[in-house]
Structure 1
Amino acid sequence: MVIYFHRKIKGNKKIALFSHDDPQSALADSAGEDPRLPMLLQLSRSCIRRSFSTGRILRTQNLVTEVSQNDVVSFYNAKVINYANRSIRPVTLKELIRFGQPPLSRQSLTQCAHYARTELPVRLAMRVRAFQNLPFIVGTNPHIKDVYRLYYESFDSLEKYSDLQDSEYTSDVEFAEKLKDLVERHADNIPTLARGFLECKKYMNTKDMTAFLDDMIHARIGIRLIAEQCISLIHATKEENNHDQLAKNYIGIINTQLSPARVIRQCADFVTELCEFNYGEAPEIIVTGHVDTTFTYVPVHLEYILTELLKNAARATVENAKKANLPIPAVEVAISHGSRDIGIRVRDQGGGVKPEDLNHIFEYSYTTVKNDDHDDSGNIFSGITRLAMQSGVGGPMAGLGFGLPLARMYAQYFGGSMTLISLYGYGCDIFLKLKHIDESLGQLEI
Structure 2
Amino acid sequence: MPSNIKCLSALLDKTSLYRPSPITVAQLIEFGKKRDEPTSYGFLHKELPIRISHMVKELHMLPDSLLQQHSVKLVKDMYLKTFEDLVAFDEDGMHDEQVLGKFTRRLQEIKRRHQTVVETMAEGILALRKDSRFDPSINYFLDRFYTSRIAIRVLISNHLVLFGTEEECPGHYGIIDPSLDVQDIVDDAASSAKHLCNYHYGDSPAVKINTFHQNGCHGDEVSVVYIASHLHHMVFELIKNALRASIENPHNGEIHPVHVLIIQGKRDISIKVSDRGNGIPMRLQDQLFDYHYSTAPEPDKDSRIPPLAGFGYGLPLSRLYARYLNGNIRLVSCEGYGTDAVIYLQNFSEDASEVLPLFNKTSQAKYQIGTMVQDWNVAGSLRPIWS
Q: Does the pair score TM above 0.5?
A: yes
**Does the 8 Å CA contact 2:24/2:349 hold for their aligned counterparts?**
no
Deviation at 1:235, TM superposition (A): 3.8
Mapped partners of 1:378, 1:226: distance in 2 = 33
Does residue 1:188 correspond to 2:188, yes or no?
no
Tell me the equivalent position of 1:174.
Answer: 102
| Correspondent of 1:369 among 296, 299, 303 | 296
**Does the 8 Å CA contact 1:332/1:348 hold for their aligned counterparts?**
yes
| Correspondent of 2:62 among 134, 144, 155 | 134
1:300-334 deviation digits (Å, cap 9, x = unpaired):
2111111110111112222223xx78243221111
**Does the 8 Å CA contact 2:267/2:348 hold for their aligned counterparts?**
no
Does residue 1:419 correspond to 2:330, yes or no?
yes
Letter in 2 for 1:114: G
Does residue 1:354 correspond to 2:354, yes or no?
no
Tell me the equivalent position of 1:436.
Answer: 347
**Does the 8 Å CA contact 1:135/1:204 hold for their aligned counterparts?**
no
Does residue 1:84 correspond to 2:13, yes or no?
no
Does residue 1:343 correspond to 2:274, yes or no?
no
Mapped partners of 2:74, 2:205: distance in 1 = 38
| Correspondent of 1:247 among 165, 170, 180 | 170
Cα distance, 1:300–1:432 mapped onto 2, change above 3 Å: same
Deviation at 1:335, TM superposition (A): 0.8
Greater RCO (CA < 8 Å, at least 6 residues apart): 2
Tell me the equivalent position of 2:377.
Answer: none
**Does the 8 Å CA contact 1:93/1:445 hold for their aligned counterparts?**
no
Tell me the equivalent position of 2:260.
Answer: 333
Letter in 1 for 2:182: P
Tell me the equivalent position of 2:310.
Answer: 399
**Does the 8 Å CA contact 1:296/1:437 hold for their aligned counterparts?**
yes
Matches within 5 A, 1:229-244: 229-235=158-164
Tell me the secondary structure at the aligned position of residue 89 of structure 2. helix
Provide the aligned C-alpha RMSD in A. 2.8
Tell me the equivalent position of 1:262.
Answer: 184
Cα distance, 1:281–1:166 mapped onto 2, change above 3 Å: same
Percent identity, aligned pairs only, is 28
Q: Extract unaligned runs of 5+ from structure 1.
A: 1-69, 385-397
Mapped partners of 2:253, 2:68: distance in 1 = 48
Give the TM-score normalised by structure 1.
0.70
**Does the 8 Å CA contact 1:99/1:109 hold for their aligned counterparts?**
no
Deviation at 1:76, TM superposition (A): 6.9
Mapped partners of 1:211, 1:444: distance in 2 = 18
Letter in 2 for 1:143: S
**Does the 8 Å CA contact 1:198/1:400 hold for their aligned counterparts?**
no
Tell me the equivalent position of 1:302.
Answer: 231
**Does the 8 Å CA contact 2:258/2:276 hold for their aligned counterparts?**
yes
| Correspondent of 2:146 among 217, 227, 252 | 217
Larger Rg: 1
Letter in 1 for 2:335: Y
Give the TM-score normalised by structure 2.
0.80
Tell me the secondary structure at the aligned position of residue 349 of structure 2. helix
1:277-298 deviation digits (Å, cap 9, x = unpaired):
2222222222112451111111
Deviation at 1:197, TM superposition (A): 1.5
1:120-171 deviation digits (Å, cap 9, x = unpaired):
1221122222223322221121222222222122222222124544234634
Mapped partners of 1:81, 1:169: distance in 2 = 31
Mapped partners of 1:75, 1:212: distance in 2 = 26
Does residue 1:281 correspond to 2:208, yes or no?
no
Cα distance, 1:151–1:445 mapped onto 2, change above 3 Å: same
| Correspondent of 2:29 among 77, 83, 97 | 97
Does residue 1:205 correspond to 2:143, yes or no?
no
Tell me the secondary structure at the aligned position of residue 404 of structure 1. helix
Deviation at 1:378, TM superposition (A): 5.8
1:189-235 deviation digits (Å, cap 9, x = unpaired):
223323322322444531x2122112212211221111111111114
Tell me the secondary structure at the aligned position of residue 359 of structure 1. helix
Tell me the equivalent position of 2:360.
Answer: none
Tell me the equivalent position of 2:248.
Answer: 319
**Does the 8 Å CA contact 1:348/1:428 hold for their aligned counterparts?**
yes
Does residue 1:116 correspond to 2:24, yes or no?
no
